[in-house]
């Protein structure tokens, strides 16, 4: 399915709903279907009972076989029969519903009653428009960020963080002609449409981790925050100078911040481990640890988890343009306004980070572009053979117009590589404790008593 078996996805949530007798889904009378929010709204507006769910939205649930563009058989086996029967049909996002009818159909759907469709008067400007099925926001953000080829990776940092790449892989029934999902362990793989997939990973805490650190250190005023950031910048400069000059004595003096290792799982972990019960942790705190050193370690902790995702993404693109070093097209205020953090991400990943002046509203821009592509493909297919209606995103690569750029520094990339190894070792060491800390106190007492017996 291209997604892990995790509580963030639909399988565990649907199982829990159907197993809970008090849940409303177990008391629905008559015929019903699960609908995405987009399909539900369009169906209401256009006076239809149900609409399909797009491959894009379905793959976000973890129920879609991304290779075949059908519901995954193994995933279906994990769901109750009542749930399976209620799943909506599948379709490409480019399938559309034409216009808002003036009247609503009767129950049989044959003739129209005199009753006026309320949306006919509510949305007069949409009466003759085409309504397309929903598309995942990550897919839209990639397209809107001009990341439609294997040479560009979209990275967004807001409250959370994500890195994604768009690759062309046609849906097919032959496993030999599709990449193997296990090679991408730690990433998600979602469908954009029947011809393209989106591969990437997400962190639950991005800008939220920085905001938490600011509140934790009582840096409430802008003056206090900027003073701390200046100190962090000084620490980073000292560390880089030592690494660039191979000055081991100088480097040892700057080890205060380097010795702090952070697992930034304040709201749990998604990529790359998807470990239930994961929490934040810090290694290396002493009485001499300063606020600047702590803040620096939080910034580095998030940058290094993003590096882990980026390393896997780069490995996933070996079949497409593997000889071309990719660039990061960045978006999100958290990274745009923090030059130091942006440089950390460039240094740790070893990739150029670019902000494009055209992509400030990347998600809505991408949604508009995907609809335009679908309309163009529909126009072409109506005047020629059906084979030409597949739209290839890589053929639409747009020119980048940078307004902020951060170049990676080789010496910094080298010592961030060491920091990444230390963080991975730390997370692996504390991972067995995640499941224990997520247990209730009563359950911990039970385990302790059993052990004593």
138-191 per-position pLDDT tens digit:
999 999 999 998 899 999 998 999 999 998 887 765 555 555 554 567 889 899
Half-sphere exposure of 437 (CA within 13 A, CB side): 13
149 and 397 Cβ atoms separated by less than 8 Å: yes
Residue scoring higher pLDDT (108 or 191): 191
Whole-angstrom distance, CA of residue 142 vs CA of residue 139: 5
What mean pLDDT is predicted for residues 274-288?
91
**DSSP code of residue 172:** -
- What are the C-alpha distances in Å from 288 to residues 239, 259, 285, 436? 18, 12, 8, 30
Least confident of 91-95, 158-162, 305-309, 377-381: 377-381
pLDDT in tens, 192-207: 999 899 999 999 999 9
Q: Is the pLDDT of residue 251 over 70?
A: no
pLDDT interval class at 234 (50, 70, 90)? very high
Least confident of 39-43, 69-73, 267-271, 357-361: 357-361
Q: How crowded is residue 7: how many other Cβ atoms within 10 Å of its Cβ?
A: 12
> Which residue in 113, 102, 132 sits closest to 367, CA to CA?
132
* Per-residue pLDDT, 378: 74
- Residue 369 tokens read as 């572009």
- Residue 376 tokens read as 């163009």
State the chain's mean pLDDT as an integer.
85
pLDDT interval class at 358 (50, 70, 90)? confident
* Per-residue pLDDT, 182: 45
| Burial degree of 393 (CB within 10 A; 0-12, 13-18, 19+) | buried
- Residue 187 tokens read as 């990433």
3-state helix, strand, coil in the chain (%, to 5): 45, 15, 35
Whole-angstrom distance, CA of residue 190 vs CA of residue 176: 19
> Which residue in 190, 156, 64 sits closest to 345, CA to CA?
156
Whole-angstrom distance, CA of residue 229 vs CA of residue 54: 45
Site of tokens 């997400």: 202
| Total-model pTM | 0.85
């Amino acid at each position: 399915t291209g997604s892990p078996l995790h509580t963030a996805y639909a399988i565990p949530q649907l199982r829990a709903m159907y197993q809970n007798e008090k849940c409303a889904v177990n008391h629905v009378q008559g015929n019903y279907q699960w609908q995405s929010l987009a399909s539900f709204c369009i169906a209401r507006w256009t006076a239809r009972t149900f609409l399909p769910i797009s491959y894009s939205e379905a793959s976000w649930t973890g129920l879609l076989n991304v290779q075949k563009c059908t519901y995954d058989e193994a995933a279906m086996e994990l769901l109750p029969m009542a749930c399976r029967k209620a799943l909506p049909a599948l379709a490409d996002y480019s399938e559309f519903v034409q216009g808002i009818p003036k009247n609503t159909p009767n129950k049989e759907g044959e003739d129209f009653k005199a009753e006026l469709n309320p949306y006919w008067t509510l949305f007069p400007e949409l009466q003759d428009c085409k309504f397309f099925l929903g598309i995942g926001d990550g897919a839209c953000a990639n397209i809107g960020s001009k990341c439609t080829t294997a040479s560009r990776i979209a990275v967004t940092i807001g409250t959370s963080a994500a890195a994604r790449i768009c690759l062309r892989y046609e849906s097919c029934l032959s496993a030999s002609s599709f990449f193997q999902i296990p090679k991408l362990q730690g990433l998600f793989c979602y469908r954009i449409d029947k011809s393209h997939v989106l591969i990437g990973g997400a962190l639950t805490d991005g800008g939220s981790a920085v905001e938490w650190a600011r509140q934790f250190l009582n840096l409430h005023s802008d003056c206090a925050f900027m003073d701390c950031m200046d100190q962090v910048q000084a620490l980073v400069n000292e560390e880089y100078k030592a690494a660039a000059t191979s000055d081991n004595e100088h480097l040892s003096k700057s080890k205060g911040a380097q010795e702090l290792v952070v697992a930034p799982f304040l709201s749990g972990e998604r990529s790359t481990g998807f470990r239930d019960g994961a929490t934040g942790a810090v290694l290396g705190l002493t009485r001499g640890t300063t606020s600047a050193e702590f803040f620096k370690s939080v910034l580095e902790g998030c940058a290094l988890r993003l590096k882990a995702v980026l390393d896997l993404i780069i490995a996933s693109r070996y079949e497409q343009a593997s000889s071309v070093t990719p660039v990061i097209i960045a978006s999100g205020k958290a990274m745009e306004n923090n030059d130091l953090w942006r440089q950390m991400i460039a240094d740790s990943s070893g990739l150029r980070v670019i902000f494009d002046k055209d992509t400030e509203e990347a998600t809505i821009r991408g949604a508009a572009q995907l609809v335009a592509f679908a309309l163009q493909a529909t126009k072409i297919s109506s005047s020629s053979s059906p084979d030409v209606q597949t739209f290839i995103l890589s053929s639409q690569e747009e020119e980048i117009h940078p307004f902020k750029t951060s170049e990676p520094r080789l010496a910094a990339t080298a010592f961030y590589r060491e920091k990444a190894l230390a963080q991975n070792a730390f997370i692996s060491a504390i991972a067995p404790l995640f499941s224990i800390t997520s247990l209730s106190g009563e359950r911990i007492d039970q385990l302790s008593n059993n052990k004593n017996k």
